[in-house]
Amino acid sequence: MRIPAEIIAAATRDLADLVAIPSVSARAEGLEACADKVEALLSEAGFITEQQPGDVGPFVVGEMGAGPFTLVIYNHYDVQPEDPVHLWTDAPFALTERSGRLYGRGSADDKGEFVSRLAGWRVFRDTHPGPLPFKLIWIVEGEEEIGSPSLVRFLEKRFLDTQADLCWWEFGEVDRTGRPIVLMGFKGILAVELECRTARADLHSSLGAIFDNPLWRLAAAVSSLRDARGRILIEGFYDDIVEPDALSRELAERAPFPLGDLQEETGGRRLLEGVNAETFYDHLNFEPCLNVNGFHGGYGGEGAKTVLPCTGTAKLDFRLVPGQHPVRIAALLRRHLDAKGFEDVSLKILDAEVLGVRSDPSHFAVDLGAELLRKWFGRPAIIQPSSAASGLAYPFMHKFGATLFGAGLTHHGAMLHSPDENILVSHFENMIGFSADFFAALGEHVRQPAEAGSYA
């Protein structure tokens, strides 16, 4: 299966044009210019387009067709800062081809994902002119890399009554052995800071004979939150969890890679009690966890300093699963600290915006997409019930009622957010082909609902 060379050349040019615009949301730089370019590309491809203001960068929307089936595609045109620049082999904002790869900031995250889908769209429309049998809403934002501060407000305002069936997520991955992944969910997140202050200023450590120490207090408070198995000991923590459906469980039963691979890759040695080769993938997909991100206070310099510090802080993050609301978990955490005698430990919420989601893998588009991924990437697709990481997918899932579908071209060595970010040319081409086929297959499926299932 080949994509015509002129299609690939045009897509590569589009990607080069986008990469050349340093749309760094962290510096609020280049966002209008990049939004204009994205809008022009969508408009040239036949979409009715518009821009809507965001807090930092505008949203671009392209729409076409009519329901009853509605597909939402979500992408973003902003990128991470290029620093440290000296570690790039070539200039970060110039798309450069070297040994089968295209390098440049945003080549993968997320301009390459956007462009490959759009190129596939053009192929699909060239071969399937006429009225579109479904509605397509393409949303491209410019604030993803700074946490999408206005996304929820934008969706609620602009798409007040919109319902959708499927949301094609902004990225997707191909694993290190070349197997494409269909991602069905994300974990939520609660990030907090605990602080304890026990005196006006640091004291002589001899006074430790009578005064308590804020780092001892924090250590005890943090220790009370979790056991050696990783089980979180906050009362009510597990109450609202939505259990995975049977198919999700089944999909997670056989891990697509051995635990040893992950240990080798990360150098991670010490497993939580109860985590083993059979259970680790289940934990990654379905179990919430609590991390201590940092523990700060007192003297950390060279040699000894006999000090009784007056204050200390601990930063924590909880990876949450569907059903757990971060704000409610924060309230339970406060109650736990008070009940355990840690009223003097203050709690500051740093992030409670992202809720976990997990979509139903029995949606027809999942099998259909997986089959087309197999066709283009030459390997059976892995359907992954949930990422172990968090993504701001819940506004789409809850607002639109859509099924999440994450498929894309990001490969194992893509160096996202790092110097030498890149994509494989072969994946870029495969994703163009996949996208063209996926649009066509969705159209066929919704045009002939009586034959549902015959495309798997």
Region from 103-111, 124-132, 373-381, 384-392 binding Zn ion, contact rule CB under 5 A: 103-111
Region from 16-24, 106-114, 155-163, 292-300 binding Zn ion, contact rule CB under 5 A: 106-114
Contact indicator for 169, 406 with CB cutoff of 8 Å: yes
Tokens of 66: 């009519």
Return the number of the residue (14 or 144) whose C-beta is nearest Zn ion: 144
User: Nearest to residue 356, comparing CAs of 281, 256, 286, 408?
Assistant: 286
Return the number of the residue (109 or 353) whose C-beta is nearest Zn ion: 109
User: Distance between CA atoms of 195 and 182, rounded to whole angstroms?
Assistant: 41
Region from 104-112, 116-124, 154-162, 255-263 binding Zn ion, contact rule CB under 5 A: 104-112
CB of 436 to Zn ion, least distance (A): 25
Distance of CA 405 to the CA centre of its chain: 12
Region from 29-37, 102-110, 161-169, 373-381 binding Zn ion, contact rule CB under 5 A: 102-110
CB of 341 to Zn ion, least distance (A): 42
Burial class (CB in 10 A: 0-12, 13-18, 19+), 190: buried
Return the number of the residue (109 or 141) whose C-beta is nearest Zn ion: 109
CB of 111 to Zn ion, least distance (A): 11
CB of 25 to Zn ion, least distance (A): 10
Region from 101-109, 241-249, 344-352, 437-445 binding Zn ion, contact rule CB under 5 A: 101-109
CB of 142 to Zn ion, least distance (A): 13
CB of 80 to Zn ion, least distance (A): 6
CB of 110 to Zn ion, least distance (A): 7
State which H helix or E strand residue 38 sits in.
helix 31-44
CB of 171 to Zn ion, least distance (A): 8
Region from 105-113, 116-124, 226-234, 295-303 binding Zn ion, contact rule CB under 5 A: 105-113
Return the number of the residue (109 or 173) whose C-beta is nearest Zn ion: 109
Return the number of the residue (96 or 148) whose C-beta is nearest Zn ion: 148
Tokens of 268: 């991670």
The binder of Zn ion chosen from 14, 39, 109, 165 (CB under 5 A): 109
User: Distance between CA atoms of 392 and 413, rounded to whole angstroms?
Assistant: 23
Number of H helices, E strands in the chain: 12, 19
Number of residues that bind Zn ion (CB under 5 A): 1
Return the number of the residue (73 or 234) whose C-beta is nearest Zn ion: 73
DSSP-derived secondary structure for 124-176: HHHHS-SS-SSEEEEEEES-GGGT-TTHHHHHHHHTTT---SEEE-S--BB-T
User: Nearest to residue 73, comparing CAs of 166, 2, 194, 195?
Assistant: 166
Return the number of the residue (27 or 447) whose C-beta is nearest Zn ion: 27
Contact indicator for 11, 121 with CB cutoff of 8 Å: no
User: Distance between CA atoms of 114 and 121, rounded to whole angstroms?
Assistant: 11
* Interacting residues with Zn ion (CB under 5 A): 109
